[in-house]
Structure 1
Amino acid sequence: MSLTEHDIDTREAFLHGLAASAAALALDGFSRQTGQSASMKGPQDFLTETDGAVEAHIRSRIAETFPEDGFLGEETGGLPGAQAWVVDPIDGTANFARAIPHFCVSIAFVANGEVQLGAIVNPALDETYLARHGRGARRNGLAIRVSNTNDIAATSFEMGWSNREPLERYIAALEGLFRAGSNVRRAASGAMGLAYVADGRSDGYAELHMNPWDCLAGLLLVREAGGVTGPFLSEGGLLRGGAVLAATPAVAGVLADATGIPLLTGPDLLTQPSDPILKSA
């Protein structure tokens, strides 16, 4: 059953409060472990505890408020159903564990065959990114847009790494970008990398394989901020994960050529309703 605009309005209002409360939990865990040696057991304990606590909080709030909605989380999994919340409680865990304030809580809501809502919150920097399908993207309430970079020599791309794909593909993509004249960096949080593309802080982000909880909110942010992306949902990404590309339009082709990730030419829709994970829960 398709959700109405009123249904999505209700979930959008709920998401604002949910993202704030989840971010507060994440910040508490981060603050308690800051200053601990990364080689000690302590930071990892705080990370594990915080990951679990944030996801449990998000999952319970959704179950209480919208029991008809599905859920898919990095820590506890789930069976999304036809409409679902997709959650990464802490993206950028290596940064979190070493007291680097570049991590986030990522929450997306999928319904009517596409991503409807997305939130990415970096609690350490007090930055909240929110997007709604067809209604733009914002950081801390202000509208954001992708960069207007059109000279490849002026670009700064980010390239995420995944051991799910051969190392040779990653190295080849990096070489292609460097030879094209771009600067390439890696900041170890894919969700934040996508948010920075939406905010014009980076000209593009690509990763050869991402899980849906890492990227769905960010891909919506980029599209709503005027950027272009590769296909993800339409390529079965909700089920299996997949390649991710997002960029400002003028230089997106360079990123696509270097990585071999195609650009999306239409809506990124769920195209396999017969798959069990897409059926109503």
Structure 2
Amino acid sequence: MTVIESPTPLSIDLDARYTLARAVAQQAGERALQMFRNRAALEVEHKGLQDFVSIADRDVEGIVRRAVSEAFPDDAFLGEESAAGVSATLSSERVVWVVDPIDGTSCFLNGLYAWCVSIGILVDGEPLIGVVFDPNSNELFHAARGRGAFVGETPLNASPSCHVREGLLGVGFSHRLKPEAFMPFLGRLLGDGGMFIRNGSGALMMAYVAAGRLIGYYEPHINAWDCLAGIVLVREAGGTVNDFLANDGLLRGNPIMAAGQALYPVLMTLVEGPGEQS
């Protein structure tokens, strides 16, 4: 059993949380898959431009929240569907479960298969556990700090690519930003001979970076529940990720940039532009 000791009486049992995260991600994903197959009956609301919520999101988040509350009542919980009501002091909690019950809701509602359940766990402000479950392919991506990343029992390794011409780059964009914040990057990427894919699920594409299926991923603004699990996966697969949690990224979101170690500085140049690296 891996335990993180605390100066307070509370100790953190990572093994138990890792086990629960994997189990509840699959349980929640199986419920989501049932609803996906009967999605015509779902009630859907519009939260904003390109932003939807359905009874499925709330139902699936409830499955995870209840499991966490029963097993670890002192742990904090940040879910996409309940984020509006969280306290600004959430970042100071010892353990925070960061959950997107259905990442890729638009794909889910439109009968596309690019959606998943994403669960990340922060301990003392550090992402230590990441689980992404894709019910459609029955793939469970999972990682814990210092233990490596896996899909099922198979170890994952980020791509060794050195240039954007050597594979597909995942990208994401939402209308929280103006298109002008994204288009220069795309121009530089295509100008260097690269090609991109956007499947509608940031969590799933981060898992694909960890698996070496994508050479990297970039999105100019993403929410924590969409990427916290992926951050652990990519780092444990030997890749590099920017400091997403800087400047209250947990509650405000931030840019995300992830790639294999060799490609990461190349990707940074494309994102920031020549001569703009800090």
TM-score range, shorter chain: 0.7 to 0.9
**How many Å apart are 1:165 and its aligned residue?**
2.0
Report if aligned partners of 2:43, 2:55 keep a CA contact under 8 Å in 1: no
Q: Name the CA distance, whole Å, in 2 between partners of 1:6 and 1:239.
A: 23
Report if aligned partners of 1:103, 1:192 keep a CA contact under 8 Å in 2: yes
- Aligned positions of 1:26-37 closer than 5 A: 26-33=32-39, 36=40
Aligned to 1:150: 162
Match of 1:10 among 16, 19, 22: 16
Q: In angstroms, what is the RMSD of aligned CA positions?
A: 2.0
In the alignment, is residue 73 of structure 1 matched against residue 85 of structure 2? no
Aligned to 1:202: 214
Which stretch has the larger CA shift, 120-129 or 14-23?
A: 14-23
**How many Å apart are 1:216 and its aligned residue?**
0.4
Question: Across the two proteins, how many residue pairs are aligned to each other?
Answer: 254
Q: Deviations over 1:22-77 (max 9, x none)?
A: 111111111112xx5xxxx8574896111010001111111111010000010012
Report if aligned partners of 2:160, 2:263 keep a CA contact under 8 Å in 1: no
Match of 2:94 among 82, 94, 116: 82
Q: Deviations over 1:227-261 (max 9, x none)?
A: 01111113421121100000012222222122229
Aligned to 1:95: 107
Q: Name the CA distance, whole Å, in 2 between partners of 1:183 and 1:211.
A: 24
Aligned residue for 2:169, secondary structure, equals strand
Aligned to 2:129: 117
- Aligned positions of 1:1-281 closer than 5 A: 3-4=4-5, 7-33=13-39, 36=40, 42=42, 44=44, 48-77=54-83, 78-79=86-87, 80=90, 81-260=93-272
Q: Name the CA distance, whole Å, in 1 between partners of 2:12 and 2:99.
A: 23
**How many Å apart are 1:147 and its aligned residue?**
1.4
Q: Name the CA distance, whole Å, in 2 between partners of 1:245 and 1:222.
A: 11
Amino acid at match of 2:57: D
Aligned residue for 1:75, secondary structure, equals helix
**How many Å apart are 1:6 and its aligned residue?**
6.2
Q: Name the CA distance, whole Å, in 2 between partners of 1:162 and 1:260.
A: 19
**How many Å apart are 1:141 and its aligned residue?**
1.7
Which stretch has the larger CA shift, 161-170 or 21-30?
A: 161-170
Q: Name the CA distance, whole Å, in 2 between partners of 1:84 and 1:207.
A: 23
Q: Name the CA distance, whole Å, in 1 between partners of 2:101 and 2:73.
A: 20
Q: Name the CA distance, whole Å, in 2 between partners of 1:42 and 1:239.
A: 29
Report if aligned partners of 1:105, 1:121 keep a CA contact under 8 Å in 2: yes
Report if aligned partners of 1:222, 1:229 keep a CA contact under 8 Å in 2: yes
Q: Which consecutive residues of structure 2, in runs of 5 or more, have no partner in the other structure?
A: 6-10, 46-51, 274-278
Amino acid at match of 1:15: A
Q: Deviations over 1:141-170 (max 9, x none)?
A: 211111122233223111100222221121
Identical counterparts, % of pairs: 37
**How many Å apart are 1:113 and its aligned residue?**
2.6
Q: Name the CA distance, whole Å, in 2 between partners of 1:183 and 1:221.
A: 23
Report if aligned partners of 1:43, 1:98 keep a CA contact under 8 Å in 2: no
Report if aligned partners of 1:91, 1:103 keep a CA contact under 8 Å in 2: yes
So what's the TM-score if we normalise by structure 1? 0.85
Q: Deviations over 1:108-167 (max 9, x none)?
A: 110033011110011011011001011110001211111122233223111100222221
Report if aligned partners of 2:139, 2:152 keep a CA contact under 8 Å in 1: yes
Q: Which consecutive residues of structure 1, in runs of 5 or more, have no partner in the other structure?
A: 262-281
Write out the 4+ residue segments of structure 1 that deviate beyond 4 Å after TM superposition. none
Aligned to 1:271: none
Q: Name the CA distance, whole Å, in 1 between partners of 2:62 and 2:43.
A: 20
